[in-house]
Every structure is written in structure tokens, then in C-alpha cells.
């Protein structure tokens, strides 16, 4: 089952925002913990002084705050998410004056073209059907300045069978009603880096994190 945009929004507005932070801590726990894993995901990314940064699918802000901390105080970071409840929870954390949160659709943000030096899509593409993934990547490219970078944090397929089985159990892939299953499988089959190239990005690179459980993909406009 693939959730439509309205059902996805309802699910996160009324259900998932309540346990999202706990779920992230659970998923990241066996691989060094949330803070360490976010640092590893950010290692392939270089920041410039005063970067204008967008986290397109910010959720409750965990990745957004990590990005802002790595970018430094001169950076301006905007976190956007389709779910109003997720955005409220992120904004309530209030840990930095250089971060601003807003409700926004990753496939059509309404933000000004060429506004950002870096656009992040954090742990969200695997929830989208292919058409939405490509639309989000196209929107990211539109929002970037010439030479700007797209950075995607995503699930990956570990090379070893034992680790794949563990991840499947630990990440609840076995749940019959896991709505991410068809979109996650399609994303992994097609390859995140391949779809980033398809969206028009160049010099695309992929870095495996946590023994291939996660990946950071970077592409330049």
C-alpha cells in the first residue's frame, strides 16, 4: 500500500509525530546512536560560511539541528515538512535562532528559485512513490543556486544477508501494514544516486554509512 499525500499528512499530523523521535532513537541505536550516526551521515558534506540551507523533509528537526550545528552559526537553515504537527514539534525544541521551520510540500515548496546553497532531503524519499521522488528532486534542483548541492540521507541495502535480516526486523519491515514497503523497495531497486542523476544533478557521489545500512548521496547542480 502506498499512502496518498493527504493520508500521509494525516498520519503524521495525528499519529506518527507522537512517537517519531522515539522511533528514530530505536532505529539508530544499534549503529552507534542518533548523534553519532547523524555526524557520520554529514561527514561527506562540506559547508561554506553563511550557507543558505534547506532541509526539505525535516520531520521533528533531528537532522535539521545536526545540519545547523555542523554548518556553523553563520549559516541560515530552514526546515520544512508537509506535516504541521511535525513542524510544531521541531520548532518547540527551539535550540537555535538560526533555524526556522515552516510547513511545506517537498514537491512544490513555493520558495524562490535559486535561494539555497544546499538542499537536504533527510530520510524521506523512501516513503514516496517514484513520481513524488522525482518531483522532490526536481524541486530541490530548482531551489539551488548554480553550483549548489543536493544532499540525501537515506536507507540503503546492506551487503551481508545477516545484517539485512537484522535491519528488516529492527526497522519493522516485517509489519504487514508498513506503508513504506513498496516505495522503499522501489527506491532501493532503482538506486538513490541513479535517480539523483536522472533529476539532472552532476558529480553525484554515494557514501555508505553504518556498514551499508544508510547512505549519503551528494549531487551538484
- Structure confidence at residue 1 (pLDDT): 41
- Identify the top-confidence range among 15-29, 74-88, 194-208: 194-208
Q: How many domains does one find in the chain? A: 1
Q: How confident is the model at residue 20 (pLDDT cuts 50, 70, 90)?
A: confident
Which CATH number does the domain housing residue 82 bear? 3.40.50.150
**Domain that includes residue 42, residue range:** 5-220
Mean pLDDT in residue range 154-182: 91
Mean pLDDT in residue range 3-24: 77
- Structure confidence at residue 17 (pLDDT): 76
pLDDT tens sequence across 89-120? 999 987 666 899 999 999 999 999 999 999 99
Does the pLDDT at position 170 exceed 90? Answer: yes
Does the pLDDT at position 18 exceed 60? Answer: yes
- Structure confidence at residue 165 (pLDDT): 95
Angstrom distance (rounded) from CA 133 to CA 216? 16
Is 86:107 a contact under the CB 8 Å cutoff?
no
Handedness of CA 115, 43, 65, 5 (dihedral sign): positive
Closest CA to 141 of 181, 177, 111, 162: 111
pTM above 0.85, yes or no: yes
Amino acid at each position: 500500500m502506498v499512502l496518498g499525500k493527504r493520508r500521509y499528512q494525516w498520519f503524521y499530523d495525528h499519529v506518527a509525530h507522537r512517537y517519531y523521535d522515539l522511533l528514530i532513537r530505536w532505529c539508530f541505536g544499534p549503529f552507534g546512536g542518533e548523534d553519532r550516526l547523524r555526524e557520520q551521515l554529514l561527514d561527506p558534506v562540506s559547508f561554506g560560511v553563511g550557507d543558505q540551507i534547506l532541509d526539505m523533509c525535516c520531520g521533528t528537526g533531528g537532522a535539521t539541528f545536526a545540519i545547523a550545528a555542523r554548518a556553523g552559526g553563520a549559516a541560515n537553515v530552514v526546515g520544512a515538512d508537509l506535516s504541521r504537527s511535525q513542524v510544531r514539534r521541531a520548532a518547540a525544541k527551539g535550540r537555535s535562532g538560526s533555524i526556522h521551520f515552516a510547513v511545506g510540500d517537498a514537491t512544490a515548496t513555493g520558495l524562490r528559485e535559486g535561494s539555497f546553497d544546499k538542499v537536504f532531503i533527510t530520510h524521506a524519499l523512501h516513503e514516496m512513490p517514484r513520481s513524488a521522488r522525482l518531483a522532490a528532486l526536481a524541486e530541490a534542483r530548482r531551489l539551488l543556486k548554480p553550483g549548489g548541492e543536493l544532499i540525501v540521507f537515506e536507507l540503503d541495502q546492506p551487503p551481508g544477508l545477516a545484517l539485512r535480516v537484522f535491519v528488516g526486523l529492527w526497522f519493522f519491515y516485517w509489519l504487514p501494514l508498513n506503508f513504506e514497503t513498496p516505495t522503499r523497495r522501489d527506491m532501493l531497486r532503482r538506486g538513490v544516486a541513479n535517480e539523483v542523476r536522472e533529476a539532472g544533478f552532476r558529480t553525484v557521489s554515494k557514501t555508505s554509512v553504518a556498514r551499508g545500512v544508510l547512505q549519503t548521496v551528494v549531487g551538484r547542480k
